[in-house]
Each structure stands twice: as C-alpha cells, then as structure tokens.
Amino acid sequence: MMKQIYFSLAFLISGLFTFGQTYDTQIENVINTVSLDSLIFQMRNLSGEDEVMVNGETTTIEHRVSNWGNNLAAQYIKETLESIGLEPTWDLYSMNGVNVYAVQEGSVYPDEYYMICAHYDAVDYYCADDNASGTAAVIEAARILSTMEFEYSIIYALWDEEEIGLIGSADYAAMAASNGDVIHSVINLDMISWDSDEDMVAEIHSSYTANSNDLSDYIVEIDNIYDLATVPSVQNPGATSTDHSSFWNNDYAAVAVSEEYYGGDFNPYYHTEQDRIAILNMGYFHEMSKLCIGTLCSLSKPILNTSVAGNELSNSELIKIYPNPATTLAHISCQTQGYTQITLLNNMGQYVTTLHHGEVMGGNLQLELPLNSLAKGMYFVKMKSENGLVLQKLIIE
C-alpha cells in the first residue's frame, strides 16, 4: 500500500520546489547508522530502568523532576556528551535550572548554527516518552554526527524546566537573540515513542515565524527522498506548549517533532510514573529518530564531496590509488606541496585514521595503506593542504 502523506496547505502551494534536494548516499548512510540499541540504552538510563555511572560512581537516575533536584540527570548528559568527544557547556541559568549543550563547530560557517534539542526534565518517576525519548535521540545525533565534518556548526541542546514553563529554552533563546546568534533552524524533539495505532504519523508543529514552514517542508522532503517509514503530518499553527516556541518568541525558525498531539494518538500515561519504556513503540521511536537526525545532517551540509571555502581541486589527478578496488594493500600517490594532512574517512565521512600530517617536499607523497584491519566497503582518502581539499574514493573488497 502506498504511504499516505499529510501535507500542510503551505507546502502544497509553495514548498514542493523550495529546496530541490536530491538523494545523497552520505545522508542515507547516516540514517542507516541510527541505532535502536543505542537509543534504547539511553532511554533506559535516563528513565531510571538501569544503573548508570555518574561522577565515577554507580547510581540510578530515579527521576528528572526539576524541583526535586535533577542535577544527576544533567551530569549524566554532560558526561555522555564528553564521552562522545564533545565539550558540553553546563549552563546554570538560575539557582535551580541547568541547560546542557554542546557545539560542534562547522568548517565553513562556524558562526552559523543548526540545532537539535529536547527537554530532559520530567514531572514524575520514569517518564520515558516524556521526554527521555527526545533526549536519547539528541544524544544519538551527537554520537553519529560528532565524528563527521560539516559546513555549518551544530548545537546539541538539552533543556531544563520545560515542564514548568519552558524556562530553560526561553533563557537560551532570549540570550541567543540578544547576542545576534545566527541559528538557521531548530528541531525540537518532544515525546517521539508512542504510536498505539502503528500508523507511524510524525507530527511536525510549525508556524509562520521566520522560516519555520520551510523547515517543516524540508523534513517532509527528507522523509520522501529517503523513503522513511514515518508519515509526516504538518501542523500549522502548531502547538506552543514545548521548547520550539521559545525560539518562535525570538524570531527563529523552529519546529517540534512529536507523536500525535493533535491527531488523537497521544500517550495517555504521560506525566505519570506509568510512562515507562515497556508500553512504548520502539520501531516508531527508531524511525522518528532517523527522520530528525537525517534532516539535521542534511541541513548542516556534511563535507565529503565538496570543496572548502571555494578552493576546489580536481580529485582525479591529485590523488591516485592503485589497485582500486583493493584487497590487502593500497598504494596512494598524492601531488601536494607544503603542510598536508591526509586522512581516511568511511562512507559517511567519519574519520578512520590519519595517513600523513606534516610538510611535503618535492610535490609528491607516496603512501602505503594496509587494509587487513579495515572492513570491506567504500572509503575516502582526504587530502587537505593550504590549496584546499581533495577526496578520492577507495573501494576495499
């Protein structure tokens, strides 16, 4: 049966041709890398189902309720982002409120941002769907994308005190606007794991604020191009009861992605201790995370087959690899001069190993790459020098 798509009127009128996206293998690879095991692991830890290690001690996150004291959850999030390789900020914006966020700097536009976010606070014990689900998906985005290089900077943000008035996100958004921060889009995830009727509907709450409708249309395009299982339903005007509206209030483009808040299939156990992982739809949770992470990856523009800052060099002549495909050993010949860094990337553009870094004299560098420890598949040899960036494909059989 053909998948039914629910479109907003604005999308039907003007959004179909707004972006002109085309299929990108790199985005597909990112989507396929989103791990349900990893998502469930984080949801179980955040909702107190399993013990965790925080501050070097084994403990349990019994709750994430702000006025009961939820710094244990915040510390767990901070340490998790650190373990991924990011440098999170502990944003103590009030006596009781703590936002935790990390910035991954872009290579071309470091002062322009795309954001994925969720609130980590809760109103009771467990609260798996609301909102350990969104928090886990943000952490999964960071786990995957932090190993890649992007043109734009990415903010991974987890808000406090959403449940008592969107306080954490409101503080951040107001400060960002006051500072003139260029945040192109905000994808807010709130309750993404309840789907009792298994229709896979993903509500996208949008508005006419800034480019919010363009962002919702972009998410629908990602769903279509990569044939995802989710069924987007754009809501305009969307709900204002979660953190994306803090960004609307400061004239930023933002959407909230959630289960069917308007569509009639909303978690009846939310805001109670019955909101536990056992009652949730893990397949839906997985697909919702794929949709959001794939969108963020596409918006932020991963660097693989593009030049840096306009310095485009020819791939075919400056790096030669033989044999290619290769099985046990690849010979790599690079035409370069001066300080040069050569790295091996996997098919998602993620760093694998450094092959060379340092000065090159004479204009030519010869390398040998043993392949025995590498899995079969497609890789890229990336050469970065003062002249720009070059990539060449390597196939290991």
Mind listing the pLDDT tens digit for each residue in 115-162? 999 999 999 999 999 999 999 999 999 999 998 999 999 999 999 999
CATH architecture of 315-396: Sandwich (2.60)
Mind listing the pLDDT tens digit for each residue in 295-316? 999 999 998 743 333 344 444 5
**From-to residues of CATH 3.40.630.10 in the chain:** 9-300
The dotted CATH code for 9-300 is: 3.40.630.10
Cα separation, 204 vs 216, whole angstroms: 6
Low-confidence ranges of the chain (pLDDT < 50): 1-18, 305-315
User: Of 307, 273, 165, 289, which Cα lies nearest the Cα of 222?
Assistant: 289
**From-to residues of CATH 2.60.40.1930 in the chain:** 315-396
The amino acid present at 220, given as its one-letter code, is V
Contact call for residues 128 and 193 (beta carbons, < 8 A): yes
Mind listing the pLDDT tens digit for each residue in 349-364? 778 899 998 999 888 8
Beta-carbon contacts of residue 207 (< 8 Å; ≥ 6 apart): 213, 236, 237, 238, 248
Contact call for residues 385 and 336 (beta carbons, < 8 A): yes
